[in-house]
Amino acid sequence: MTNRVRRTMPLLPISIVMQLTELTARQIRYYEEHDLISPARTEGNKRMFSLNDVDTLLEIKDYLDQGLNMAGIKKIYDLRETPENEKAEPKSLSDAELRKLLHEELKHQARPLEKGGFRQSDLSRFFN
Amino acid sequence: MTNRVRRTMPLLPISIVMQLTELTARQIRYYEEHDLISPARTEGNKRMFSLNDVDTLLEIKDYLDQGLNMAGIKKIYDLRETPENEKAEPKSLSDAELRKLLHEELKHQARPLEKGGFRQSDLSRFFN
DNA sequence: AACACATGTTAAGTTTTCTAACATTAAAAA
DNA sequence: TTTTTAATGTTAGAAAACTTAACATGTGTT
């Protein structure tokens, strides 16, 4: 366990991430703008992505294909990253909000899968 | 076996390789000039390194620490990469040449290991 | 029709990388 | 000891890659 991959190490420039994910630079930056990823920065302010970042981007692609929007995806990550213990009191996010999210998701349900896209949101396509 | 890491995929810019190997850009380019590595190039001619390249660079560091020079290291890689079957007739590399190599290596034998350097010439320091 | 969301496109500026030339240092050869 | 050579440092100028910001476009929603 101690010796697992350092998947958080910032290694990849945006050009490579574009290839790996088939996303445009615009898309990647837009997702960052909406706090779905937080790539590291070089001293000169260039984004550097970890393998985890790439995984996340592939997941985002999937969620978008499934009809979710930025807010929906963000919520998912926020929930996911909330430690189990303090997961009790859901802050001030009302039922209304949650119902709306759910609604939105249901509307787009079962969207067809276009142009040979991948299912597997994971770098295992490339590694190990 | 089929699902092994794509260690040959060009992913890393030289700045990251510098961090990973603690080599200067000058050194990395010099080793390329001597055909010890052959990083891929972007369309714009920027070097892009694979994980294999990084492994090789760490090995080169080791060999240099052990007193080998470019020619010696090159020979090692040439031999290593020669398929087992055609490994019979050693081209036109005379005994003289080989003795010289060996000699050189022996002279520098058992050089002390300075400033907490790594032994393990391998990215496993970072991954898996 | 008006709006919002995701994405495309463009412009101008900055960082990173490139090659090439010359400098330095230490070890080997003369 | 002087001269070479090997490895690396340093610098300059040019090109590529990346940045932010602004505005454009397409498509589905209200």
Per-position b or e across B65-77, b if 16+ CB within 10 A of its CB = beebebebbeebb
From CA A44, how far away is CA A60, in angstroms rounded? 27
Output the CA angle B91-B97-B98, nearest 5 degrees. 85
Q: List protein-proximal bases of chain D (any atom < 7 A from a CB).
A: 6-10, 15-20, 29
Backbone φ and ψ for B40, nearest 5 degrees, come out as -65, 170
- B110: helix, strand or coil: coil
**What pLDDT sits at residue B81?**
77
**More confident position, B90 or A18:** A18
**Which pTM value belongs to this model?**
0.77
Q: Looking at chain A, list the stretches that DSSP marks H as alpha helix, in order from N- to C-terminal side.
A: 14-21, 25-33, 51-65, 70-81, 95-107
Tens digits of residue pLDDT in A76-108: 999 887 766 665 554 444 444 444 444 444 333
Would the CB atoms of B9 and A126 count as touching at under 8 Å?
yes
Tens digits of residue pLDDT in B36-50: 999 999 999 999 999
Would the CB atoms of A48 and B16 count as touching at under 8 Å?
yes
Chain B contact probe: residue of A1, A7, A11, A52 with most B CBs at under 10 A: A11
pLDDT at A120 over 60: no
**More confident position, A125 or B38:** B38
**Gap from A6 CA to chain B (nearest CA, Å):** 6
On chain B, the residues whose CB falls within 8 A of the CB of A5 are 127-128
From CA B28, how far away is CA B25, in angstroms rounded? 5
From CA B2, how far away is CA A92, in angstroms rounded? 49
Residue among B6, B12, B48 minimizing CB distance to A127: B6
**What pLDDT sits at residue B46?**
98
A107 touches strand D (CB under 7 A): yes
From CA A39, how far away is CA A13, in angstroms rounded? 10
Mean pLDDT of B26-41: 98
pLDDT at B24 over 90: yes
